[in-house]
Structure 1
Amino acid sequence: MTKLIRVLTATAVLPGAALAVAGVLASAWADRLPDPVATHWNGGPNSSTPLGLFVVVCLALGAVATALLAVTAVAALRRGRPVPRVTAGVGAGFAALAPATLLSVLVPNLDVPDWHAARSGSVVVLFLLGTAALGVVAAFVGGLPAPVLEAGPDLPSVGLRPGQRAYWSGRAVNPAMLWALGLIPVAIALLPAGLSWPMAIWIALVGTFVTVVTYRLKATVDAQGVTIRFGLLGFPWRHIGLGSIREATTRELSTFGDTGLGLRFNPVTGTTAYKVRGGPAIVLALESGRTVLVSVDDPETGAGLVNDLLAQRVTRID
């Protein structure tokens, strides 16, 4: 199976099949459904939508999502950057969400005299599980690693020589995060109809604790790979083995761009960002096709050491 066929199967055929099944069933059940149909439940059905309108909107949204997913995936493949497994799976599951929603609404409305008599909408859980299963299949079918590229001459380097010991540590701190999460709830409590003082203090304490364990970031590079640690406790943390990295570069990150602050994952691009501030960052291009961003000071040295270790294929330091 060629790469193009795999990508089209995951992003067009699988969600397209779900869309076709939903459309066929909606047409076949037309005489067995009330008009309008119940489309919202709060214990019992409490809202309705004209049958034809609901079917058309769901099928149209599903068609648009499927088309966008397939076009994006094929374009990425042609650029030599096919989507990672997670991206392919999440995209296919999202594209199948509209037909799943359609069926999860029509099934409880089958053979009832009017929408007020519709059965429980809890069947939606089964259809959501179906979209998750479709996403898993799409991930394994259409998720492809990016091709291994030859290291360019402009990649950062520290001039590491064979046999030399190698270690680098970089960090970044954002104390403003402590003040923001600690004082904002207190400020809200001072506003008319704001939070009560006990609730504001409780939220401030929880926010401060969360920030303490994430407001600073540390990254280390050695012959084993790259280790990333958050906060005073060094948790959450992640280790990326040297064998999983294709190359390392640097770039400037905006404060609230690149998925925002904190630990962020973008399923569309396959990018994971470890950020406590904007500014310089290490960019790790992984063999899987994903990208890891780490906002730390002096990223050029860290990236250079990674590239030198990759060039020498060092696996341990004596």
Structure 2
Amino acid sequence: MTKLIRVLLATAVLPGAAVATAGVLGNAWAHRLPDPVATHWRSGPDSSTPLGVFTGVCLGLGAAAVLLLATTAVTSLRRGRPLPRPTVGVGAGFAVLPAAVLVSVLVANLDAPDWHAAHSDAAVVLFLLGAAALGVVAAFVGGLPSPVRGTSAHRPSVGLRPGQRAFWSSRAANPAMLWALVLVPVAIALLPAGLAWPTAGWIALVGAGVTALTYRLSATVDAKGVTIRFGFLGVPWRHLRLDSIREATARELSTFGDGGLGLRFNPVTGTTAYKVRGGPALALALENGRTVLVSVDDPETGAGLVNDLLAQRITRID
């Protein structure tokens, strides 16, 4: 199976078939459905939409999403940068989401005398799980490894000699993130039409708790690979084995580039950024063609040690 066929199967055929199936079911059930149909529930149906309008909007959104996903995937493939597996899976799942919502609403309204008598909308959970399952299948079918890039002109080194061992550790922190999420809700509460003090207090408390887990970042390099840890508890964390890394360099990051601060993933480039600030960062080019960025101090030394350990691993004779 060629790469193009795999991509089209994952981004056009599978989600397109789901949207088409929803359209066929809507047409087959038309005589068994009230018009308008219930489209919103609380304790019971509390809002309705004309059947033709609701069906047309859902199918139109689904078809547009499938077309956009397939076009993007094929264009990326032809440019030599196929979409990563997570991007294909999430894209396919979102593309069939309107179809899943449509079928779940039609099932809830099936055989009801009018929209007020529609059944519970609990079935929507099953159809959303089905959309997620289709996304997983699409990810495995159409997710292709990115091509490996050439080595960088400047490849840092710390001069590690054969037989020597070394360890590098660095970190970075951004206390402003912590103070911002604590003080902003308080400042809003001071406004005449702002938040109530109890609400502001809870938001500040939750914000401080979340930020405490993410405002500090550390990275270590040793003979086993690179370990990245967030916050006081060191969670979330990630370990990259040496055999999964092709080379390491240092790079300057902007504060709001690569999606901003925190843990960020670019679905088009396959770049994962662990950021608590702008400035110097360790850049790890992986064997699968993706890149990991870590905003820590003195990344040049860490990159040099990674490259020297890789060179020892390649040249060592067991």
TM-score, length-normalised on structure 1?
0.89
Unaligned runs of 5+ in 2: none
Q: Which deviations, in whole Å up to 9, do the C-alpha atoms of 1:97-137 show, x marking residues without a partner?
A: 11111111111122222222211111111110110110111
1:233 equivalent in structure 2: 233
1:170 equivalent in structure 2: 170
1:276 equivalent in structure 2: 276
DSSP-derived class of the 1:248 partner: strand
1:216 equivalent in structure 2: 216
DSSP-derived class of the 2:258 partner: coil
Please tell me whether the aligned partners of residues 90 and 267 of structure 1 are also in contact (alpha carbons under 8 angstroms). no
In the alignment, the residues of structure 2 paired with residue 174 and residue 234 of structure 1 have an alpha-carbon distance, to the nearest angstrom, of 15
- After superposition, the Cα gap between the structure-2 partners of 1:108 and 1:269, relative to the gap in structure 1 and judged at 3 Å, is farther
- After superposition, the Cα gap between the structure-2 partners of 1:105 and 1:290, relative to the gap in structure 1 and judged at 3 Å, is farther
Q: Which deviations, in whole Å up to 9, do the C-alpha atoms of 1:162-210 show, x marking residues without a partner?
A: 3332332222121212221222233233233544445544443443343
Q: How many residues align?
A: 316
Equivalences for 1:144-183 in 2 at 5 Å?
144-183=144-183
Letter in 2 for 1:295: S
Matched, 1:313 2:313: yes
Letter in 2 for 1:62: G
Please tell me whether the aligned partners of residues 41 and 121 of structure 1 are also in contact (alpha carbons under 8 angstroms). yes
The percentage of aligned residue pairs carrying the same residue is 79
2:108 equivalent in structure 1: 108
Q: CA deviation at 1:13?
A: 1.0
Please tell me whether the aligned partners of residues 245 and 286 of structure 1 are also in contact (alpha carbons under 8 angstroms). yes
More displaced stretch, 303-312 vs 210-219:
303-312
TM-score, length-normalised on structure 2?
0.89
Please tell me whether the aligned partners of residues 40 and 46 of structure 1 are also in contact (alpha carbons under 8 angstroms). yes
DSSP-derived class of the 2:123 partner: helix
2:19 equivalent in structure 1: 19
Please tell me whether the aligned partners of residues 148 and 289 of structure 2 are also in contact (alpha carbons under 8 angstroms). no
In the alignment, the residues of structure 2 paired with residue 215 and residue 31 of structure 1 have an alpha-carbon distance, to the nearest angstrom, of 57
Please tell me whether the aligned partners of residues 214 and 231 of structure 1 are also in contact (alpha carbons under 8 angstroms). yes
In the alignment, the residues of structure 2 paired with residue 3 and residue 17 of structure 1 have an alpha-carbon distance, to the nearest angstrom, of 20
- After superposition, the Cα gap between the structure-2 partners of 1:206 and 1:26, relative to the gap in structure 1 and judged at 3 Å, is closer
Alpha-carbon RMSD: 2.4
DSSP-derived class of the 1:75 partner: helix
More displaced stretch, 304-313 vs 2-11:
304-313
In the alignment, the residues of structure 1 paired with residue 150 and residue 251 of structure 2 have an alpha-carbon distance, to the nearest angstrom, of 20
More displaced stretch, 69-78 vs 136-145:
69-78
In the alignment, the residues of structure 2 paired with residue 205 and residue 57 of structure 1 have an alpha-carbon distance, to the nearest angstrom, of 41
In the alignment, the residues of structure 1 paired with residue 15 and residue 2 of structure 2 have an alpha-carbon distance, to the nearest angstrom, of 19
Please tell me whether the aligned partners of residues 19 and 62 of structure 2 are also in contact (alpha carbons under 8 angstroms). yes
Q: CA deviation at 1:95?
A: 0.9
Unaligned runs of 5+ in 1: none
